[in-house]
Structure 1
Amino acid sequence: MSPEVAPDEAVDPRTSSAFLVNESLGYLFPAALRAAAVVGVADHLADGPRTPAELAAATRTDARSLYRVLRLLATRGVFEEDASGRFRLTSAGDALRSDAPCSARSAVLMNTDRSMWLPTADLSRCVSEGTSAFEHLFGLPFWDYFAQDEDTADVFHCGMAAMSDAENEPIATACDFPPSGTVVDAGGGHGGFLLTVLERHPGLHGVLYDRPHVLAGHRLDTPGIAGRWSTEAGDFFTAVPKGDVIVLKRILHDWEDEQCVALLDRCRTALAPGGRILAVDAVVPPGNAPHQAKALDLLLMAALVGRERTEPEFATLFESAGLKLSRVVPTSTVLSVMEAVAV
């Protein structure tokens, strides 16, 4: 393994070369993670360690190839190999199980799907041309492609639901909801976040607003919130249902500024007097420290047309739509809650 190199540390050219070569191999870890997720190997480790041969028989895979995948993932703490050659699932890797609480398996499959993976290999096109690589590879813009490819759309929406499951509770806790009224979750997917909000606030009614094929997979039909929710199909660039609070969770980062302003304008029009918009997104911090938003920003650049934004950039979006960013509430997740009101 090549040595760690501090950005401002003077190093021998050979050390720099070794560092960069090692960094260039970093894509093999998510490739291995995807392979493990696809064959469901983690599901077969819930009851304890097993040998590669046992796991291969359970997953109908090649034992030698599976071992090599597990060996690499063990270097990152997902699995651990013992002295007898058996592998166990670590606590850090436990969410790779499909039946784990807050399972990340669907999210891993989404993030490493070819619809996401292939455009990132063509980032140089994005840098040179200032546009997404997705349409060049797939013949259609991202959302148009998903509209005509049900299998890929299902991977995306199930993956987004899985990403949301671990963050819904802390984000709902951070949000300031009124004791009564209507909360509209615009582009709310399968409704995991709205479900959490309604469970926490029994005086609220919720509207899940999304495309018809997305709403078909909603998760709101539970006894605890019976009679307090409805679904409504539509295009949020055309109109948004009226509400006291309108939530945009992981939405604005999907779009360019002009489209965000148009969407926020629709939301402002739909707000009840004294209402608020809660935009839930990552806020890119200044400086050189790692942050998930800095990585996800490149995925957005490659596959969609959007980008992650700083707090001043969000403030400018709201101002352009006749709104004021009243406060930013950090959460224990990578996302923050940006509260906006009509000017």
Structure 2
Amino acid sequence: MNVEGRTIEEDAVSAPPPDLSEWALHAFCLGARSSPHPVVAMDDNGRILYYAVGGIDMDRLMELGLKPNESQLALMKAYRLLTVEDGRLTTSFPVVGPQVMGELRRDIRAISADVTQSIRRDSEEMCAELARRGHAHHGYAVVFGHAVDGLVWEQLRDQLPSTKLSLERPFWNGAFWAIHPRRDDAAGVNEHPWSEGTLVSVWSARIAFELRSFLTESAVGRLTHNADGVLPVIHSDDSDELHRHGKLIAERLAEAILCDPRSKALSERIVGTHPGESLLIFAHELIWDLMDCLVEATPLVRPRALDNGSAPASDLRQLLFIRQ
């Protein structure tokens, strides 16, 4: 089998794990009833999906010691992770390994540095405004969660896969992909809507479990009332300085993603994807690198909770804000 021109017989030092459950798995599937992540982790599905990249016959799969039963195959097909045709299994989502990912991350750095300069002032203005409101420690969460991994998707909306559920796609819709090497420091955003707004949380793989445990239903209820003002509140109109500067950041970032010829060239290196999928993969890599550049170039401080396996409640609250 070949993954991006690499054979599975390459020496073990350079080859990625032969199990996609050990790769970084990412999804863009807002409103999903359930994501594909748990399905990849079940039984030996991750190994089956690894060997099925590019297609593999059932007989060859069995020679490798893998004997999927009908229920396994049916579940992976239902979650649109696998296609089976005439005894041949093919992984049906993008799998981007070290050869492409290493080059992509190296070359994204130059674009990140340029975008950093174009949004530096707005990022600093957002941090200054938060400090004026008494929320100086929320700078990273708000810049990332509201602008860089928030408003930017509104700017890119017409280029992205639909996430609307349907009878044909009842569990999830959008895009799902695997990458290696993993970026365990990469941040993500979750939203917890309620009648008057949305509680936004920024997470990383290291703190995700503890943050989920912290955000119980009762805790979310208390936080959204925000009676003691422990969380910053962003109003989604230009009268709010945080939103206004966040929108400018999102516009410049989207312009770099859509209009910079370097971005188009890098996206095209991600083969085996639809255009919307390659844009999503590239854009996520860019925003993660961009946040590293902002931390290096500005007073923005990465919250320590993102890099710890545990954190006190005061640190976890630095990962949260309210959008209305």
Greater C-alpha radius of gyration: 1
Relative to the length of structure 1, the TM-score reads 0.26
Relative to the length of structure 2, the TM-score reads 0.27
The higher-RCO structure (CA 8 Å, 6+ apart) is: 2
